[in-house]
A and B are shown apart, each in its own frame.
Chain A
Amino acid sequence: MSQYVLRRLMIAIPSLLGISLVLFIVLALAPGDPFGELATNPNVPPEVQAALRAKFGLDDPIYLRYLHWLAAMAQGDWGFSFVSRMNVDTLILQRLPTTLYVIGSAQLLALAIAIPVGVYAATRPYSIFDQIANTFAFIGFSLPTFFTGILFILIFSVKLDWLPFVYSTDIKATGIPWVLEMIRQAIMPVMVLGLFQAASMTRFVRSAMLDVIRLDYVTTARAKGLGQAKVIVKHVMRNAMIPVVTLIALQMPAVFGGAIVTEQIFRIPGIGSLLISSILANDTPVVMAVTFVFACLVVLFNLIADVLYGWLDPRISFR
């Protein structure tokens, strides 16, 4: 196994290089430029905009720009934001804690709901509990977060006045009040995002469980007189976990990537909002850095999932 992991890691380097090249080409070919905002300003002559483009090397050929980026990256230089005129790594690090806190909590909430509900619903298919769980799941993924977010704001902030809806990274308190305030302001975004994720995940867990729960060995285990809980946890869940592990491995990089819509609605200064504003401003170095880290995480979690498959189902062999 360790040999396999090592080999996969070796393969990861050229494959990440390939991904970075494609990412760069897409970003370079996409229309737009970082100084578009200047265009309608009559005080700024168009020559200024053109000079800025030239100064930042935006008019150089793509391969040259890519090589510059690659050479800098190899030396640990993440580049320099056109829009903020500061180092990209500083920008990202500034936003990382908030992203991990809010998006991470939402993912944990989603898992904490989806796994027990999905498992329990699968043990009693078409019972009342299952029907209710399904209905909530359907509502969950047929309503987009832009909609539920506003609904939550209208109910909990405007009507009831319980929760703030502008996320603040700068709470003027220390100790326990600070912790409480941090929790209070994260409730709505975490709920909106967590419930949306939980909805589809519940469906996957339920389906994966149903696939396994009717297999002969489960009946055998029951026939041996094992308790229901033990059968479900030890025999069914472990075998049903393969799709679930796949999904979690797909979701984990997203914790870093952030959730663009939810961050926008609640003004959470996370990486998602950094990414979208950088994309809209064509701030290529920032977009490149964020997506490249994201790509590394995708590759890494894909590998972790593969290793876990081997543990969940020892028959799966990797060569």
Chain B
Amino acid sequence: MAGLTLASPSAEPQRRGYSPWRETWRRYRRHRPAVVSAVLLLLLIAAVVLGPFAWRVSISDMDVVAGLQGPSLAHPFGTDDLGQDILARMIYGGRISLAVGLAAMLVSVFVGTLIGALAGMSRGALGYALMWLTDLFLSLPQLPLLLMLIYLFRDGLKAVFGPEGGIFILIVLVIGGLRWMPVARLVRAQFLSLREKEFVEAARALGASPVRQVVRHILPNALGPVIIAGTIDVAAAIIAESTLSFLGLGFPPDTPTWGRILYDAKDFLDIGPHWALFPGGAIFIAVVAINFIGDGLRDALDARKVI
């Protein structure tokens, strides 16, 4: 069988630890905080995805008499001022917050890297045009822009993707679409420097196409700041989502998300500290986990470092 004979020679170098992906995985496993973080993040995701099956309390059931109670057996995370169960709201909100955070981060990193790389490689009008675009987006006042976007696109997206899906797409695009500029600037700056380095020149001399130069040689060396920016963006996106609902752009006002719960709790900080503690803690854990995963990836991808 042709397939088998082809497969077996490639198995040979793998055993010698030659495949870069294997190597990366091996290095990643060595980074203990990153491994712990990956497990933690998976647990967090499992908790918010599977949580509703284990904790069957409604997110909207109110009991105004039992408002602002601290953690108890009936309400492990306590209740908010309307007497709603914070644990149920955290589980429900976690799905949205994590999904928005990760998706928006991917959008901003992808757009930022693409534009930054193109601007960094181009030596002509394209570079200027892209930097102009970046400057434009940096100077746009976000609030009126958001209001305009809602007004132009909300109903259209709702019609196509349904109310929940439409809003999710809008939020991810808005947050991602307004946060890619620092990534683009960073990537471009790295590219300007890297494209003149000897190893890139060597690749060019060997006849590597510009795409190959970028993907194989420059980009992996420019990833450091990108990963940092990406991991910070997750936190920023989770919090940005909560401010969007105050503009009427986000999910309906009764939909809990971590950022939103934290915002609602801020005025009750001295009365019911538990209310702020749980969403704040959850955001913190998610952020720490994602950042350590980023650190681990960064170290694992850096071939110079010997672990």
A and B pair up: yes
Contact status B144-A27, CB under 8 Å: yes
Is A246 among interface residues, defined by CB-CB distance under 8 A? Answer: yes
Find out whether the CB atom of A298 lies under 8 angstroms from the CB atom of B298: no
Assess the B186–A246 pair: CB atoms within 8 A: yes
Cα A316 to Cα B127 with chains together (Å): 15
Measured between beta carbons, the chain B residues less than 8 angstroms from A243 are: 186, 189-190, 224-225
What is the CB-to-nearest-CB distance from A238 to chain B, in angstroms, rounded to a whole number? 12
Stretch at the interface among B18-26, B67-75, B279-287: B279-287
Pick from B147, B182, B224, B266: contact of A210, CB below 8 A.
Answer: B224
The stretch of B88-96, B128-136, B211-219 in contact with A is B128-136
Say if the beta carbon of A279 comes within 8 Å of chain B.
yes
Q: How far is the CA of A53 from the CA of B277 in the complex (A)?
A: 47
Contact A146 B190 (CB under 8 A): no
Among candidates B138, B186, B235, B304, residue contacting A215 with C-beta atoms closer than 8 Å: B304
Contact indicator B302/A294 (Cβ below 8 Å): no
Most central of A19, A215, A317 by chain B CB within 10 Å: A19
Main secondary structure of the interface of B (DSSP, over half): helix
| B270 is an interface residue with CB less than 8 A from chain A | yes
Residues 182-234 of B contacting A (Cβ, < 8 Å) = 182, 185-186, 189-190, 192-193, 196-197, 221, 224-225, 227-229, 231-232
Query: Which residue of A154, A245, A246 contacts B269 across the interface (Cβ within 8 Å)?
Result: A154
Chain A interface, >50% SS class: helix
Cβ contacts A271-303/B at 8 Å (1 or 0 each): 000011001100000010011101100110010
Looking at the complex, which of A75-83, A92-100, A135-143 is the stretch in contact with chain B?
A: A135-143
Which residues, 105 to 135 on A, are CB-close (under 8 Å) to B? Answer: 134-135
Do A22 and B148 touch across chains, with their CB atoms under 8 A apart?
no
A270–B189 CA distance with the chains assembled, in angstroms: 32
Tell whether, in the assembled complex, residue A214 and residue B305 are in contact, meaning their CB atoms are under 8 Å apart.
yes
Complex CA distance for A147 and B273, rounded to whole angstroms: 12
Q: Complex: how many Å from CA A279 to CA B141? A: 9
A291 with B135, Cβ < 8 A, contacts A154-B269, A245-B189, A246-B186 known: no
Contact between chains at A142 and B284 (CB < 8 Å): yes
Q: Most chain-B Cβ atoms within 10 A of its Cβ — which of A243, A292, A319? A: A243
Closest-CB distance, A314 to chain B (whole angstroms)? 9
Inside 8 A of B302's CB, which chain A residues have their CB? Answer: 211, 214
The answer to the question of A15 belonging to the interface, with a C-beta cut-off of 8 Å to chain B, is yes
Stretch at the interface among A29-37, A166-174, A180-188, A225-233: A29-37
The 4 A-B pairs with the shortest beta carbon distances in the complex, nearest first, are A295-B139, A30-B144, A142-B287, A315-B196
**A-B pairs with beta carbons under 8 Å apart, 14 shown:** A23-B140, A26-B145, A141-B235, A142-B288, A144-B239, A147-B276, A154-B269, A242-B193, A250-B182, A287-B141, A291-B140, A298-B138, A305-B189, A315-B197
A29-B152, A295-B139 known; 7 new pairs, CB 8 Å cut-off, are: A15-B135, A26-B144, A27-B141, A144-B259, A154-B269, A200-B232, A243-B186
